Amino acid sequence: MATEPPVYAVIFSSQLAQSAVDYQDAAEEMVRLAETMPGFLGCESARGMDGFGITVCYWDSEEAIRHWKQQADHQVAQRRGHEEWYKKYFLSIAKVKRAYGVNEKGERISKWRKK
């Protein structure tokens, strides 16, 4: 079953450098900023004690992802990530074919909904 309308996932995994400072605040600010962007559907993040983290954000088009990539404050954060925060990182852009899950009430859910 195809997911309609289209949903794209941006999967970002990263290993924080030991020396990473200001990272957490900046990351939270970026999520708040992403939430204001057109086409944003949702974002989830997890980071373990070892500094390895994965963030997955969902968007309604590739154009929305490009637009976000080029957003000025986000560009500054990308540069700091590359130069200061991340020891390594990997980003995949993928088109969601199907999705399902169970929410906290035990109800089946079948797609991303705009918050």
- Please report, as ranges, the residues that interact with its own copies according to CB under 8 A: 7-9, 11, 13, 15, 44-49, 52-56, 62, 82, 86-104, 109, 112
Nearest distance in Å: CB 68, its own copies: 15
Minimum distance, C-beta of residue 1 to its own copies, in the bound complex (Å):
11
CB of 92 to its own copies, least distance (A): 4
Whether the CB-CB separation of 75 and 67 falls below 8 Å is answered with: no
Neighbours of 65 (CB within 10 A): 20
* Cα–Cα dist 50/16, whole Å: 8
Please give the helix or strand (H or E) that residue 11 lies within, else none. strand 8-16
Residue number with CB closer to its own copies (11 or 76): 11
- CB-wise, 72 or 97, nearer to its own copies? 97
Least distance in angstroms from the C-beta of 51 to its own copies: 9
N-to-C CA span, the chain: 23
Taking the least distance from each CB to its own copies, the nearer of 15 and 71 is: 15
Pull the structure tokens for residue 67.
Answer: 């637009």
